């Protein structure tokens, strides 16, 4: 997807080159792959699927580089937004043949060392994954903000950028989600307190 004609690209500068410069894309990948892998591992427990989804995120980055706007938040928040969409799309897939092809492709790409490293990452993110699964009972729009703040450690304005909503809307949804979490789940993920404290100091 190219930049619309007659409009300046919001991703002006070196970042915009990742869509057509393999070296720039590789540098961006190396800088952010651990962050994206942790994000996916908090939501997926199969190492092959973690590898597949992480790769899909960076493929999506190529087509979405033009949409990044530094004024809306850091690259990490933008990446989280893309990763959420990739994971959501995967969860909507219902054709067993399509899922099988993806899993087989992942197994061809991974060697034993790759699998061991991903299993370690998945184990390290087990608490976050449990919290993510527990929050599934909340409303989707409110849950999304709470996940990004409480589990993934984003500030509210960064979560808003990841979700493509206004910071004020994100704050309102976060308050409702925290209230619902207390009532429904009996508490919040431990990381939520730290994130809230950070947010109030910025």
Tokens of 165: 């909503």
Tokens of 57: 């995120």
> Region 24-43: what's the mean pLDDT?
93
* Distance of alpha carbon 130 from alpha carbon 136, whole angstroms: 10
Query: How many CB atoms neighbour CB 85 within 10 A?
Result: 16
**Which tens digits make up the pLDDT trace of 161-175?**
999 999 999 999 999
> Region 140-148: what's the mean pLDDT?
91
CATH of region 11-124: 1.10.1740.10
The alpha-helical segments, DSSP class H, found in the chain are 22-41, 47-64, 75-92, 96-109, 112-124, 126-134, 140-146, 156-163, 167-185, 190-200
Residues of the chain with CATH 1.10.10.10: 126-202
**Which tens digits make up the pLDDT trace of 85-141?**
999 888 877 445 555 555 555 555 567 777 788 888 788 777 777 777 777 778 899
**Which tens digits make up the pLDDT trace of 37-96?**
999 999 888 898 999 999 999 999 998 888 888 888 889 999 999 999 999 888 877 445
> Region 13-33: what's the mean pLDDT?
85
Angle value at C-alpha 151, between 35 and 94, nearest 5 degrees: 80
SS3 category, 158: helix
pLDDT at 121: 79
* Distance of alpha carbon 131 from alpha carbon 190, whole angstroms: 9
> Region 186-201: what's the mean pLDDT?
47
SS3 category, 67: helix
Query: How many CB atoms neighbour CB 66 within 10 A?
Result: 18
pLDDT at 120: 84
Label residue 194 by pLDDT band (50, 70, 90).
Answer: very low
Residues of the chain with CATH 1.10.1740.10: 11-124
Name, in order, each residue with C-beta under 8 angstroms of 107's C-beta and a sequence gap of 6 or more.
48
- The fold for domain 126-202 equals Arc Repressor Mutant, subunit A (1.10.10)
> Region 20-49: what's the mean pLDDT?
91
Tokens of 192: 């939520």
Name, in order, each residue with C-beta under 8 angstroms of 77's C-beta and a sequence gap of 6 or more.
154, 158, 159, 161, 162
């Amino acid at each position: 997807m190219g930049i619309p004609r007659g409009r300046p690209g919001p991703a002006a500068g070196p970042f915009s080159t990742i869509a057509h410069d393999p070296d720039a894309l590789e540098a961006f990948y190396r800088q952010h792959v651990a962050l994206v892998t942790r994000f996916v591992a908090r939501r997926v427990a199969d190492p092959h699927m973690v590898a597949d989804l992480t790769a899909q995120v960076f493929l999506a980055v190529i087509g979405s580089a033009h949409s990044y706007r530094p004024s809306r938040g850091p690259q990490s928040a933008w990446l989280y937004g893309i990763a959420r969409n990739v994971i959501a799309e995967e969860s909507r897939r219902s054709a067993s043949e399509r899922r099988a092809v993806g899993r087989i492709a992942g197994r061809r790409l991974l060697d034993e060392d790759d699998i061991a490293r991903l299993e370690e990452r998945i184990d390290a993110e087990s608490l976050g994954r449990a919290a993510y699964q527990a929050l599934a009972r909340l409303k989707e729009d409110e849950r999304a903000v709470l996940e990004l703040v409480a589990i993934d450690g984003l500030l509210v304005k960064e979560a808003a950028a990841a979700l493509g909503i206004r910071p004020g809307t994100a704050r309102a949804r976060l308050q409702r989600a925290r209230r619902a979490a207390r009532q429904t789940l009996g508490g919040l993920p431990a990381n939520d307190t730290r994130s809230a404290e950070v947010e109030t100091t910025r």
